[in-house]
A and B are shown apart, each in its own frame.
Chain A
Amino acid sequence: MEFSEFRAMNSDILLAAEGPQENVARGLGLARAFIAAAEARLTRFSDQSELAQLNRSAGTWFNASEELFDIVREARVFIDQRGGLFDPTVLDALENAGYDKSMDEIRAHGVASRRAPAKRVTHDFRAVQFDDAARAIWLPPGMRLDLGGIAKGWIAERAAQILAAYCDAGAVDAGGDLFAVGLPANDAAWRIALEDPRDSDNVLAVLRVGPGAVATSSVTKRRWQQGDRMQHHLIDPQRGTPAETDWLSVTVIAPHATVAEVFAKSLLIAGSFEAAEIAAHREDIAFIAVDGEGHLWGSSQAKEFLDVGFEYA
């Protein structure tokens, strides 16, 4: 297995691939170039990105690239899911909580003090319109999108498909979003370590998964001090503030990266008393949650994904 490590999307990226050496090198190079190009197009931290242009065009029709159109279209599918916990229109709330620059910049320079509480403006993502023939998007006036995690998941899956075109098996690990294609030559599954959200040097479990997606959302990774308050990047759409949840992280195993990403975030926000009920309506996902004491909790299918080659406590 060949590996390529680099930093993109404010995350440590790890590409893994195996197959004929020349093809693997080509696949890794193309996947990396795709990730860089997609990040430039979809980041909200650059005024020059296509996403920033879309946000500035609210109130008029915007002719989008295939990538941006696909992601916004896909995001629309998730908006009606149970619980109402996915909403890409919470950018104002994120910025109000201090997340108005990249995480790398926040770690280096901190955030501005808390803004004066402004009247909360909510937007309904269902009002977004699409023109499939013209590949155009219309955002209602004032609406701005943050595609954040769903874009990262989408990029990871597309990059993995690029690897698949050149390699026998490959995986893209983009921090919280991982997508695998094919299977390693010497194994019947991919082995993936589940990191302890309280201590990045510790691993709580090893998962064995087939081709598909694994996404983890955590309230301990992207957090910062704003005035006297600790903030994190997972906004509860119903409150417009960083979510208050009794879990530290949720990992979802699903066939597609956008599904895994959206449900990891939604189940984490929902917390222990609602997550299982929300997940029960999706037979294609399994989830594992970590609580404040490092204990693991899972849906009924979750145990099947624990690697029994290790001795669990």
Chain B
Amino acid sequence: MKFFQTSLRALIVAGSISGFFAGWALLAHAGKPVAADPNPVSVDAPAPLPTLPPLDFSTNSVPTGLQPLPSLPPLSQSALPRLRTRGS
């Protein structure tokens, strides 16, 4: 059991050291990073936002698709048709 533990530790240490040097070698041969452009990028000024008309909260606003209709002045019943639509 002790022999197994010692072997496992040695294997982990050896693996870590060899992995470290392998990574070092890999990075040493990798391409160099490109230096950042010292000149600032020019950005066009944003176009001004369109101005919206103010909201109309008055009670006189007419919803889309509706139109006001004229109504009759008071009339005598005798002048009116007998058929009548009066709701239910």
Contact = CB atoms under 8 A, between A and B. Distances in A.
B83 A195 contact: no
Given A202-B74, A272-B63, A192 B81 contact: yes
A175 B86 contact: yes
A279 B69 CA distance: 17
B72 interface: yes
Contacts of A312: 70-73
B80 interface: yes
Interface in B60-87: 63-75, 77, 80-87
Contacts of B64: 276-277
Interface string A286-313: 0011000011111110110010001111
Contact of B83 (A16, A218, A272, A294): A16
A60 interface: no
Interface residues of A, number: 62
A169 to B, nearest CB: 12
A191 B88 CA distance: 19
Contact of B87 (A171, A205, A217, A310): A217
Nearest to B86: A195
A212 to B, nearest CB: 13
A203 interface: yes
B65 A279 contact: yes
Nearest to A1: B82
B80 A206 contact: yes
A235 B82 CA distance: 30
A149 B88 CA distance: 8
Contacts of B74: 202
Given A203-B80, A204-B72, A194 B65 contact: no
A193 B84 contact: yes
B85 to A, nearest CB: 4
A217 B65 contact: no
Nearest to A222: B88
Contacts of A311: 72-73
A203 B72 contact: yes
A193 B83 contact: yes
Contacts of A18: none
A280 B85 CA distance: 23
Contact of B72 (A174, A276, A310): A310
B73 A216 contact: no
Interface string A190-217: 1111110100111111110000001111
A11 interface: yes
Given A177-B88, A221-B88, A14 B83 contact: yes
A299 B64 CA distance: 10
Contacts of B82: 3, 14, 16
A193 B75 CA distance: 11
Given A215-B85, A220-B87, A280 B69 contact: no
Interface of A: 3, 11, 14, 16, 149, 152, 171, 173-178, 180, 190-195, 197, 200-207, 214-218, 220-222, 249, 251, 272-273, 275-277, 279-280, 288-289, 294-300, 302-303, 306, 310-313
Given A175-B86, A176-B87, 9 more contacts: A16-B83, A176-B86, A178-B85, A193-B80, A203-B75, A203-B80, A277-B65, A279-B65, A302-B67
4 closest cross-chain pairs (CB), A and B: A218-B87, A276-B65, A176-B88, A312-B70
